[in-house]
Chains A and B, each alone.
Chain A
Amino acid sequence: MPGPKAGVIVFPGTNCDSDTYHAIKQVMGIDVDYIWYEKKTLKQYQLIVVPGGFSYGDYLRAGALARFSPVMDALRAYSENNGLVLGICNGFQILLEASMLPGSMQKNKTLKFICRDVHVRVERNNMPFTMLYKKGDVLRIPIAHAEGNYYAPEQTLKTLEGNDQVVFRYVDEKGRVSEDANPNGSVYGIAGLCNAGGNILAMMPHPERASDKLLGSEDGRKLFLSIKKALK
């Protein structure tokens, strides 16, 4: 039987596709395809990654135009069939604009593009994406975005927290939540979110950029290895 197969969606303006492809191939050791945004079915895949970048130049709002690409209908159908979806950075923004996750991104509180390592805490590990981490693990992973300031109305936030849908939260290196440790102003320090079913994870930090010692951190490695384990 052939092993699991992953796909990395490429929109015009995506720029983290190669890094993500590399992490899947080298860390997970599974087959992976680039998927052009015009593709209309994703049935043959067991993991789909919506990678980082500036799809459609971030025009209008980050992710707003990518949402109407043909592949997005396929992605919705695939996820409703419990397929695993990982959205990273611009991928997070696209999943929000597509209403596959609740809430919205705003400009960082500093109004600046931030590209540096941050610390995030693993808030749950009873899901395919994080099962090899321990709850409370503090990871050092880079962020690179101008719009990662997550916002949702109070009622939505209550639901998210109540359902345990916050997967990663910005913290300091000791794992403490504080305003200083929150790089972009995100509500409740939210850095990563999942849907109620736990098969869609979206995160602003880039685990593919922390998946090898050569890159300065391999704290993101277990995320890929967790998915690999889940797919077995």
Chain B
Amino acid sequence: MLAKIFIKPKKGILDPQGKAVFGALSRLGFSQIGDVRIGKYIEIRLNVNDKSSAHADVQKMCDTLLVNKLIEDFTFEIVEG
């Protein structure tokens, strides 16, 4: 199983990286963009066959270490392979 974890700054939290990239894209003429948020992407390979136990494991990993829930939101998906 492969876990794909997406972490991004929480709504309302200042994201200076996103802001800088927003500025750069705007200067390049991409006038259609409304906002840019920059986060992290983590892939974890799991040696388990059961999707629901993988789900519980990854949730626990996010809760204890991978995500600082004060400033970050996250989603993840578990895929076969």
Contact = CB atoms under 8 A, between A and B. Distances in A.
Interface in A104-127: 104, 106-111
Contacts of B17: 107, 111
Interface of A: 60-61, 64-65, 68, 97, 103-104, 106-111, 149, 151-153, 185
B11 to A, nearest CB: 13
A65 B64 CA distance: 11
B71 A104 contact: yes
A109 B70 contact: no
Nearest to B71: A104
B26 interface: no
A109 B13 CA distance: 12
Nearest to A103: B70
Interface residues of B, number: 10
Contact of B20 (A64, A68, A111): A111
B65 A107 contact: no
A104 B68 CA distance: 8
A149 B65 CA distance: 21
A103 to B, nearest CB: 7
Contact of A151 (B20, B66, B71): B71
B65 A68 contact: yes
Contact of B16 (A60, A65, A103, A109): A109
27 contacts: A60-B65, A60-B66, A61-B68, A64-B65, A64-B68, A68-B65, A104-B68, A104-B70, A104-B71, A106-B14, A106-B16, A106-B71, A108-B16, A109-B14, A109-B16, A110-B16, A111-B16, A111-B17, A149-B14, A149-B16, A151-B13, A151-B14, A151-B71, A152-B70, A153-B70, A185-B14, A185-B16
B68 A107 contact: no
A61 B68 CA distance: 9
